[in-house]
Amino acid sequence: MNKTIWIIIIAAVALGLYVMAGYNRLVKADEAASSAWAQVENVYQRRADLIPNLVNTVKGSADFESSTLQNVIEARAAASGVKVDPSKLSEGDIANFEKAQGNLSSALNRLMVVVERYPDLKSSKNFLELQAQLEGTENRITVERMKFNEVVQKYNVGIRRFPGNIIAGMFDFEKKGYFQATEGADKAPEVSFDFKK
């Protein structure tokens, strides 16, 4: 065989190996993003699983505002109904998921504020245990969202950086969305101490 043909064959094999290695790196990054998403869903599911016990504990207080409980139940149902395709993880899907989960967080926060008016309830052992579990879960949610964003950033950089962008384009790897800070999170809350009696 001609020397030129060997050079062409070797170059084609090297290019093929390079494309295969780049494709495999992108697949690994894509799977890491899907895995991180599964962890996010896992901690949100843990929170959703705690809510029925919390609602039942609060229901035990006879004169507790039923509308507050109903809001929590409805927000939980709405949040549980929002599904995100882990193979896509688009910005719009994540924003919808985040909005539904934010509504549930708001409903839970309102519940906790109302509970403050019920000293017997807020000192009950069951309520205190559930509150502690819920607080721990909220911390886990924050950690998993941060990890998810870090993994997605690595993936997004990989599909945008040259020559990964060429391989990503050849095999339809698309940008994934991030969790965003809630609106107004960049502004410090106004704190006012009124010591007048």
Query: pLDDT tens, 58-105?
Result: 887 656 678 888 899 999 999 999 999 988 899 999 999 999 999 999
Q: Is residue 193 part of a domain?
A: no
Look at residue 124 in the predicted model and tell me its pLDDT: 82
Query: What are the residue ranges of helices labelled H in the chain?
Result: 3-59, 66-81, 91-115, 119-122, 125-160, 164-170
Q: 21 lies in a domain? A: yes
Total tally of structural domains belonging to the chain = 1
Average pLDDT over the chain, rounded to whole? 87
pLDDT of residue 58: 83
185 occurs within a structural domain: no
In a domain, 188, yes or no: no
Regions of the chain with pLDDT less than 70? 1, 61-64, 182-197
Question: Which two three-digit tokens encode residue 78?
Answer: 């709405």
- For residue 81, the domain's CATH number is 1.20.1440.20
Which pLDDT value is given to residue 128? 87
- Is residue 66, in this structure, part of any structural domain at all? yes
Q: What is the domain range of residue 117?
A: 3-170
